[in-house]
């Protein structure tokens, strides 16, 4: 059964609890800056592990010292669902542990 899209109010309420995350159309987005390219790469590896664990995969971009994510639920027609916020919360915790800003 596909995940149910969240209402605009639900999205706004949940975004208020996630520092630095924003809504871009029907996608959650966030970029992190790290102290080095190696630190950014390590964060990407850990995010990929969480994505596999949750079986929920975002678009993930690695830059020199940056990591950017775009999160949406494809099986919900590309809309934002609770699964997107579950992933975002896990990523936020990882990013903080890696010293990301």
Asked if the model's pLDDT at residue 101 lies above 70, the reply is: yes
CA distance 101 to 99: 7
For position 88, what pLDDT does the model report?
A: 98
For position 2, what pLDDT does the model report?
A: 64
Structure tokens at 23: 């809504």
Query: Mind listing the pLDDT tens digit for each residue in 17-66?
Result: 999 999 999 999 999 999 999 999 999 999 999 999 999 999 999 999 99
Sign of the C-alpha dihedral computed for residues 6, 9, 13 and 15 taken in this order: positive
| CA Rg value for the chain | 13
Burial (CB count within 10 angstroms: exposed 0-12, middle 13-18, buried 19+), residue 30: buried
Asked if the model's pLDDT at residue 100 lies above 90, the reply is: yes
pTM score > 0.85 for this model?
yes
- Which neighbouring-strand residues pair with 67? 32, 62
95 — phi, psi (to 5°)?
-60, -45
Domains, the chain, ranges and CATH?
8-97 (3.30.1360.20)
């Amino acid at each position: 059964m596909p995940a149910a899209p969240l209402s605009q109010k639900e999205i706004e309420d949940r975004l208020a609890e996630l520092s630095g995350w924003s809504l871009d159309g029907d996608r959650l987005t966030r970029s992190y800056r790290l102290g080095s390219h190696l630190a950014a790469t390590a964060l990407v590896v850990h995010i990929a592990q969480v994505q596999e664990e949750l079986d929920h995969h975002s678009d993930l971009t690695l830059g020199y010292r940056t990591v950017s994510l775009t999160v949406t639920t494809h099986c919900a027609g590309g809309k934002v669902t609770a699964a997107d916020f579950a992933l975002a919360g896990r990523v936020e915790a990882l990013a903080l542990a890696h010293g990301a800003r």
